[in-house]
Structure 1
Amino acid sequence: MSKNSASTKNDQLPRVTVLDILPDADPDELIAIPANWQSDAGEAPKIFIEVKRNDLTIPGPGERILARISKGKDQKYSARTMKILARPNRAQIGIIRLSANGARLIPIDRKQKEMQVLPEHLNGARDGDLVEVETLIKGRAMVPMAKVGKIIGNPMSEGAVSLIALHNLEIPYRFDPKTIKAAKEITSNDKIKRENWLKIPFITIDPASAKDHDDAVFAQNDPDKNNPGGFLVYVAIADVASYVTPSSALDKEAYLRGNSVYFPDRVVPMLPERISNDLCSLREGENRPAIAVKMVIDADGNKKDHSFHRVTIKVALKLSYTEAQAAFDGKPNEAAAPFIKPALAPLWQAYKAMAKAREHRAPLDLDLPERKIVLNKDGLVDRVFVPKRMEANRLIEEMMVGANVCAAQTLEKKKTPLIFRVHDSPGTEKLAVLKDFLKSLDINFSTSASIRPQHFNRILHQQKSSEHSHQVSEMVLRTQAQAEYNTQNYGHFGLNLDHYAHFTSPIRRYADLIVHRALISACKLGKDGLSNSEIEKLKPISEHISMTER
């Protein structure tokens, strides 16, 4: 089912978005504007906040809300409050300016006012430095003043640009003290009943710089004679749900953030490092709790069966993508060599079978290069390069997609409410723009039939070696709808799948954590599954995490 046929169209504002109620708004006639509205987009539209007598959530002036937007016949916006949101926990940043009259802070946020900085509060900052400050209140007049906490340095450096982006987009990058305290107090004492999978030689394959290893894989030939040439594929995912429980300080912070955010110089994690890089990271040689799916696939990569398990695993081998690819190519390093026959060879064979099924399924085959930015010691851009995309990358992607499909299918079969990862088919207007663009290159593209990924793939394949290849790929990408989280399943157009949910990255995506809890409940894997209160809130949760992702 396509979402386009049922959804209402809004020319400017998304149907669900974050709003800031004006601080001086009349409490009886609340007016709001979109949060993070960019000044170059023109004047921010004014939105009337509807409040009814029986509403459970009633906001006030100056508050931030998640709201559902509608547009009346008079073309004016109104909104109903879904949830009152907490403001991000962040410091103020600005540029230090020195003059004969002393020092002052010029805020990056134009809505904030300049503040005086006393000499003893500069902490070594020089004229032109970008700094983080805390606000002090001085004297009877309660005049706000700034005290430099951290010198970021050159405002043109990539590090400074990242921090400015964090502030402008109001992405929380500092954890609340309660959250840090909660993370420190957690121990690895696991009282949940688990299956012992310690003898299975799981392997992690990640970027060389990765610290949060949330997935591990293993495959073997299926001994069942009724599945000749088939495989058993195991995907184990860090059991974050056993540490991050509903309504806890960690859970509230993870929900607020929605996902981890990646910049060239930093990662803004969804969970504190005590959780993401330590207790939940599937480290080589250490016992770790996990939720795993065991998939039975045939010789052509088609899934015949699957089951979910709550287990304890020990990763036998940690590899980077480059190291894994070398091993698959017959050039293993010293650590990988002993695992070729028992683990790496069958893993590669299982992937090749799954690749056949993927080719037959024909998902959207957009292979645009991902550029990486390398910074020098001063935080400035040193170089930009396109890393080589290897089969080892595709192996992990294919096994994660398979695990995600299993999660959605299991929860649907057991009639457990869940948050789907959905991707709608392109709208008619975008298809018309693409058709006109392709026509200018003398490329025929019909939009009369029901559009499928293979229609785009045909064009992409035809133009792969042409001088317009990159342009065509970019335009096909822009034609696609934006994927989102939704309690209504209308399929995933890009992957060409009817059932899909995010399960494989609970360290960095809140959606996956919710799916883990749902599986725990549905498969009777423990008492720490999805609560009734969470089930009632799945729709606003899906809307919130879609917003934080954007």
Structure 2
Amino acid sequence: MSGRSEVAALPSSAALRAFLLGGVTPVGLSDILRAFDRPIRDKARLKAILHTMALDGSLLDLPAGRLKTSIGLPETARARITHIRPDGTPCGILADDPTATPVVLNTRAPDLHLPLPGDLVLARLRPACGARRREARAERVLARTGESLAFSRALGENGAPVERLWACNPQIAGTFALATPEQHALPEPGEVVLATLRSMPDGTLAVDTPTPYGRADTAGMASALSLLTHAIPTRFSAAAEQEAARGAAQAAALHNQPAPADRHDLRALPLVTLDDETAQDYDDAIWAEPTDTGFHLVIAIADVSHYVPAGSALDEEARLRGTSVYLPDQTIPMLPLDLSANACSLLPGQDRLCLFADILITHDGHMQDGTIRRGIMRSAARLSYRDAQSALDGKALPPAHPIHTLPATLLQTLMAASSALNNDATKRNAMRLDEDAWVVTFHPDGQPAAFLPRERLATHDLVASFMIAANTLAARIAYKNRLAVPFRVHPAPTATQPRPAARYSAVAGRHNGLGLPLYTHFTSPIRRYADLLVHRAISAWCMEQNPRQEGTPSVACAPPWEQDHALVSHLNFTERRAGKSVQDCQNRLAAAFLVPDIGQNVNIHATTTTRHGLCVRLTKTGTPSLLPWSAFPDCARMNDDSPYGGIAARYTPLIQNGALPVAVLLATCPARGVSVLASHTHAR
């Protein structure tokens, strides 16, 4: 033993991490030294190694409780930046925390760039002090959304441009001066520049090296700014495009060929797709027939997993995006068009690989039996929601319409089965979430022409009920067979979270919104990476054994299995990012659309109150805005449902939530998507 290097003999960081990931039993310093046959005197040096590993993020993915708290290591976690305060403080949420605990990054490591919204940061947490919000120090950026930001001239409270800039990303609050005003001039109102934020000697942030980007009111700029500010990828790698082209060739070669030996042939079944008129990616096709006890349903879903294997270039691109993004004037697909609009899309008359849910339900909509199999199918017709609704309402469609090629009673049977499923949903107290969605129409020059509430038809509910049934069956199969899939959970409301959002989870849990003990996403693998992951797991299971019906299990006895918590966190982030980018784009389009109304009274709908003002929606566009309390200088008292009621009550008027007051539109900023409002009785 003499001559041995004691330092070199200690396990490396990689060896320690592999050891810690390989078990779930709590271990301390003595346990680790014993496992590596090291003497007890190495405790201090081992703790120093673990301390360094904690601060560089090497211990983030350990099973919960794997290291004993008595070791005294710093508490670190991934933090996803959601917004920047006016004083420049980054704020966010703990990315791997199912409750999405808020975090404020009061300090950051020396020479660390300012974390921006969307960035994933390694945060060193301060001890919890009872409050739900945690304070932390940013140690390093784990994933960067980008460096360049878009800026435009800021507007004052009266709607007039001021001699400062604000970020086009509404998640970055405050205004900024130019870092070098002697070298760069402020952009003209309506102009957008690309720049970076630079820390000044006095601790403030300033806009550095601005370069022109274009005018905010030009056609296509609203989408371009939304994609830029949220760092959404818009181009695929050459390798991914090549893989997609090969997939398209494989799909074309399937046409009119015998069914693969490991797949059920559904091509004689008149499966039909129902989508919006503008849709290009058709994930699902449905069919139903009556039985003595209820209905027999077949729900075929495009087998994207066949063309996007794990670890491929396509898989990397799809994982990075997480979801397709449907902006008002363009779609950013999760997969290249060779797949999303061709090989994986259930085009009418084309042979396509699929996974299909084969389900029996009662007349009351209860699922009696069901399984999922691998198949090959051929869509009999592509119908729009509107045309299918017209047919159900007895309206005549043109003789050449594809609906006339379908069995005469198919649509009525589909609707009857949907009614049964919806009756069952009513019995379990499923919430009906009416979509507050708006459709933007455009002039030929690309400028917004109108904002219209999205029409909700019975055929929308028809398809939704079938998809919920297939997703529920997929969740049951995954749970019973311990498949590592992301489940979809919706927590019950609490005092701190009265309106919790549905999210992906590595652990099975209840979906309270739908009233279901288990749920997952299975029916949209062309546009959601979560569904693709579920397809891979279930497709592999299908090939291993003959599926059989699983009963609904009790979530309380969920078996443990390995899950990728970081991936689940990423899926939740990309879902939120897509939703925010769409809303931001609509806000920018609304700001451009409302320019002719500047100086006029506009109708608004009060939604809620905050310490800063009254949150409203413009009834003409359906987009949100803020009526600041400074707009009501002579009023006091109000019905405030924010946590800052004591502050707001001293400055705010008595306006009930849900009221329809009138405001004056002082100005709009298409670059940031802002509409500046004032009370019509106090507008200056």
In which range does the TM-score fall when normalised by the shorter chain? 0.5 to 0.7
Sort the Cα spacing of 1:69 and 1:428 in 2 relative to 1 into closer, same or farther, 3 A. Answer: farther
2:235 to 164, 174, 177: 174
> What residue number does 1:205 align with?
274
Q: Does the 8 Å CA contact 2:79/2:120 hold for their aligned counterparts?
A: no
Q: Does the 8 Å CA contact 1:504/1:512 hold for their aligned counterparts?
A: yes
Q: How far is 1:251 from its partner?
A: 0.6
Q: How far is 1:398 from its partner?
A: 0.3
Q: Which runs of 5+ in 1 are unaligned?
A: 1-20, 22-29, 51-59, 96-105, 115-125, 134-143, 223-227, 431-478, 527-534
Instruction: Give SS of 2:380's match.
Output: strand
Deviation per CA, 1:230-275: give whole Å up to 9, x if none.
1111111111100111011111111111111221111121111111
Q: Does the 8 Å CA contact 2:344/2:352 hold for their aligned counterparts?
A: yes
Deviation per CA, 1:278-310: give whole Å up to 9, x if none.
111100111111111011011111110101111
Q: Which amino acid aligns with 1:506?
A: P
Verify: 1:280 aligned to 2:344, yes or no.
yes
Q: Which amino acid aligns with 1:507?
A: I
Instruction: Give SS of 2:278's match.
Output: coil
> What residue number does 2:361 align with?
297
Q: Does the 8 Å CA contact 1:420/1:489 hold for their aligned counterparts?
A: yes
State how far apart, in whole Å, the 1-side matches of 2:240 and 2:82 are.
25
Verify: 1:308 aligned to 2:372, yes or no.
yes
State how far apart, in whole Å, the 2-side matches of 1:290 and 1:111 are.
56
Q: TM-score normalised to the size of structure 1?
A: 0.67
State how far apart, in whole Å, the 2-side matches of 1:31 and 1:420 are.
22
Verify: 1:542 aligned to 2:595, yes or no.
no
The structure whose Rg is larger is: 2
Please identify, of 311-320 and 66-75, the stretch whose mean Cα deviation from structure 2 is larger: 66-75
> What residue number does 1:523 align with?
542
Q: Does the 8 Å CA contact 2:78/2:120 hold for their aligned counterparts?
A: no
Superposed, which structure 2 residues align to 1:344-363 within 5 Å?
344-363=411-430
Sort the Cα spacing of 1:415 and 1:506 in 2 relative to 1 into closer, same or farther, 3 A. Answer: same
Q: Does the 8 Å CA contact 1:32/1:47 hold for their aligned counterparts?
A: no
Instruction: Give SS of 1:306's match.
Output: strand
Please identify, of 388-397 and 342-351, the stretch whose mean Cα deviation from structure 2 is larger: 342-351
> What residue number does 1:186 align with?
247
Verify: 1:72 aligned to 2:106, yes or no.
no
Instruction: Give SS of 2:374's match.
Output: strand
Superposed, which structure 2 residues align to 1:46-57 within 5 Å?
46=105
Q: Which amino acid aligns with 1:485?
A: Y
Verify: 1:410 aligned to 2:477, yes or no.
yes
State how far apart, in whole Å, the 2-side matches of 1:82 and 1:501 are.
33
Q: How far is 1:545 from its partner?
A: 0.5
Instruction: Give SS of 1:388's match.
Output: coil
Superposed, which structure 2 residues align to 1:62-461 within 5 Å?
65=120, 67=122, 70-73=125-128, 77-78=135-136, 84-85=142-143, 87=145, 154-157=215-218, 159-189=220-250, 193-222=262-291, 228-333=292-397, 334=399, 335=401, 336-341=403-408, 343-429=410-496
Q: How far is 1:365 from its partner?
A: 2.6
Please identify, of 249-258 and 353-362, the stretch whose mean Cα deviation from structure 2 is larger: 353-362
State how far apart, in whole Å, the 2-side matches of 1:82 and 1:543 are.
18
Q: Does the 8 Å CA contact 2:78/2:121 hold for their aligned counterparts?
A: no
Q: Does the 8 Å CA contact 1:183/1:272 hold for their aligned counterparts?
A: yes
> What residue number does 2:83 align with?
37
State how far apart, in whole Å, the 2-side matches of 1:47 and 1:538 are.
29
Matched length: 425
State how far apart, in whole Å, the 2-side matches of 1:41 and 1:230 are.
62
Q: How far is 1:178 from its partner?
A: 3.2
State how far apart, in whole Å, the 1-side matches of 2:504 and 2:309 are.
21
Q: How far is 1:189 from its partner?
A: 2.3
State how far apart, in whole Å, the 1-side matches of 2:467 and 2:314 are.
25
Instruction: Give SS of 1:289's match.
Output: strand
Q: How far is 1:174 from its partner?
A: 2.5
> What residue number does 1:492 align with?
511
Q: Which amino acid aligns with 1:330?
A: G
By relative contact order (CA 8 Å, sep 6+), the higher-ranking structure is 1
Q: Does the 8 Å CA contact 2:283/2:344 hold for their aligned counterparts?
A: yes
Instruction: Give SS of 1:523's match.
Output: helix
State how far apart, in whole Å, the 1-side matches of 2:347 and 2:530 are.
23
Deviation per CA, 1:378-398: give whole Å up to 9, x if none.
332211112321110000000
State how far apart, in whole Å, the 2-side matches of 1:537 and 1:513 are.
15
Sort the Cα spacing of 1:40 and 1:166 in 2 relative to 1 into closer, same or farther, 3 A. Answer: farther
State how far apart, in whole Å, the 1-side matches of 2:87 and 2:356 are.
46
State how far apart, in whole Å, the 2-side matches of 1:248 and 1:300 are.
44
Sort the Cα spacing of 1:34 and 1:296 in 2 relative to 1 into closer, same or farther, 3 A. Answer: closer
Q: How far is 1:32 from its partner?
A: 10
Sort the Cα spacing of 1:536 and 1:265 in 2 relative to 1 into closer, same or farther, 3 A. Answer: same
Q: Does the 8 Å CA contact 2:356/2:372 hold for their aligned counterparts?
A: yes
Instruction: Give SS of 1:324's match.
Output: helix
Q: Does the 8 Å CA contact 1:31/1:46 hold for their aligned counterparts?
A: no
Q: TM-score normalised to the size of structure 2?
A: 0.55
Instruction: Give SS of 1:417's match.
Output: coil
Instruction: Give SS of 1:547's match.
Output: helix
Q: Does the 8 Å CA contact 2:484/2:563 hold for their aligned counterparts?
A: no
Q: How far is 1:340 from its partner?
A: 4.6
State how far apart, in whole Å, the 1-side matches of 2:269 and 2:216 are.
50
Please identify, of 285-294 and 335-344, the stretch whose mean Cα deviation from structure 2 is larger: 335-344
State how far apart, in whole Å, the 2-side matches of 1:69 and 1:308 are.
45
State how far apart, in whole Å, the 2-side matches of 1:276 and 1:83 are.
33
Sort the Cα spacing of 1:31 and 1:486 in 2 relative to 1 into closer, same or farther, 3 A. Answer: closer
> What residue number does 1:503 align with?
522
Q: Which amino acid aligns with 2:571?
A: I
Q: How far is 1:68 from its partner?
A: 7.1
Please identify, of 353-362 and 155-164, the stretch whose mean Cα deviation from structure 2 is larger: 155-164
Q: How far is 1:31 from its partner?
A: 13
State how far apart, in whole Å, the 2-side matches of 1:113 and 1:179 are.
41
Instruction: Give SS of 1:524's match.
Output: helix
Superposed, which structure 2 residues align to 1:442-481 within 5 Å?
479-481=498-500
Sort the Cα spacing of 1:284 and 1:35 in 2 relative to 1 into closer, same or farther, 3 A. Answer: same
Please identify, of 197-206 and 257-266, the stretch whose mean Cα deviation from structure 2 is larger: 257-266
Instruction: Give SS of 2:250's match.
Output: coil
Instruction: Give SS of 2:359's match.
Output: strand
Deviation per CA, 1:124-160: give whole Å up to 9, x if none.
xx99776999xxxxxxxxxx99999xx8x64125731
Q: Does the 8 Å CA contact 2:193/2:210 hold for their aligned counterparts?
A: no
State how far apart, in whole Å, the 2-side matches of 1:539 and 1:111 are.
40
Q: How far is 1:500 from its partner?
A: 0.3
State how far apart, in whole Å, the 2-side matches of 1:540 and 1:329 are.
48
- Superposed CA RMSD in Å reads 4.1
**Could you tell me the percent identity over the aligned residues?**
29
Q: Which amino acid aligns with 1:268?
A: I
Q: How far is 1:521 from its partner?
A: 2.2
State how far apart, in whole Å, the 2-side matches of 1:348 and 1:32 are.
46
Q: Which amino acid aligns with 1:540?
A: A
Q: Which runs of 5+ in 2 are unaligned?
A: 1-56, 58-75, 91-103, 153-165, 170-175, 181-187, 196-207, 255-259, 546-560, 577-684
